[in-house]
């Protein structure tokens, strides 16, 4: 099973600041990594797939990068609606696995 | 508009059974693989099971293999999850998720979830 480790667990930032979230895989997943956003009481939403491709309707301030075992989700300038929990997910091997999540909270 | 509406959650005793359903609309259900993903209270996401568009291929997490069965009814546009031998650790919100086009393993639309509580 591929283990995904996300860091930091919590990121405390102010609106307008940039955010950098990390996801590290226990073995190479190529570029088969996705990012999801989840707000309290809501279902997750797909943001990024295959490491760097934005899903439909995702704004350009949100971007993904990386390959192999190290991946980054970057939010260039935080909007109020960006404060949420973010999960990475690999789709290279079964079982599909998610990281433990990074919460981006308002400072 | 894609809509996924889960139902069937509730309180069940350890060792009991429960059947979850997900009613799909707004897309051609028979063309998409579908999955169940769960989230224990206050915890992260855990993939549970995936079924191919045609229903002929299924995958399960080790934690549920042999206890849960995923199925789909194309005539009713419904995804199902039959859960048996339930354990306290199966307590979670269960989400139905649609695969992104031909990519089985990516979830581009999600339902709002149904809560399953396993407790005596």
Q: What is the mean pLDDT of residues A35-62?
A: 97
* Chain A interface, best mutation among B38, B105, B113, B114, by max A CB count within 10 A: B105
Burial of B52 (0-12, 13-18, 19+ CB in 10 A): middle
Query: CA B96 to CA A44: how far, in whole Å?
Result: 11
Cα A43 to Cα B114: distance, rounded to the nearest angstrom: 11
3-state SS class at A33: strand
Interface of A with B (CB under 8 A): 1, 32, 34, 36, 38, 42-46, 49, 55-56, 87, 89, 91, 94-101
pLDDT for the residue numbered B89: 98
Nearest to B40, CA basis, from B87, B104, B82:
B87
User: At B60, is the secondary structure helix, strand, or coil?
Assistant: strand
Distances (CA, A) of B68 to A65, A76, B92: 36, 42, 14
From B16's Cα to the closest Cα of chain A, the distance in A is 25
pLDDT in tens, B40-77: 999 999 999 999 999 999 999 999 999 999 999 999 99
pLDDT digits (tens, 9 = 90+) for B10-23: 999 999 999 999 99
* Contact yes or no for B59 and A94 at CB 8 A: yes
Question: Partners of A106 in the beta sheet?
Answer: A13
**Rounded Cα gap, residues B94 and A34, in angstroms:** 20
Cβ-contact A71, A63 below 8 angstroms: no
Q: What is the pLDDT of residue B100?
A: 87
């Amino acid at each position: 099973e591929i283990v995904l480790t996300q860091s930091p667990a919590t990121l405390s930032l102010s609106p307008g600041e940039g955010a950098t979230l990390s996801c590290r895989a226990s073995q190479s997943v190529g570029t088969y990594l996705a990012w999801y956003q989840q707000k309290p009481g809501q279902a997750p939403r797909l943001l990024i797939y295959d490491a760097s491709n934005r899903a439909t309707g995702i704004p350009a301030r949100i971007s993904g990068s990386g390959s192999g075992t190290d991946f980054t989700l970057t939010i260039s300038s935080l909007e109020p609606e960006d404060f949420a929990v973010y999960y990475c997910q690999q789709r290279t091997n079964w079982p599909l696995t998610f990281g433990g999540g990074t919460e981006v909270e308002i400072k | 508009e894609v809509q996924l509406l889960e139902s069937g959650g509730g309180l069940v005793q350890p060792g009991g059974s429960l059947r979850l359903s997900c009613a799909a609309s707004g897309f051609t259900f028979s063309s998409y693989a579908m999955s169940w993903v769960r989230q224990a209270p206050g915890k992260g996401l855990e993939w549970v099971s995936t079924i191919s568009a045609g229903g002929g291929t299924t995958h399960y997490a080790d934690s549920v293999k042999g206890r849960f069965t995923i199925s789909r009814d194309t005539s009713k546009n419904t995804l199902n999850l039959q859960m048996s031998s339930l354990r306290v650790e199966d307590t979670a919100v269960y989400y139905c998720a649609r695969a992104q086009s031909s990519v089985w393993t990516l979830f581009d639309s999600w339902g709002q979830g149904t809560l399953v509580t396993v407790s005596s």
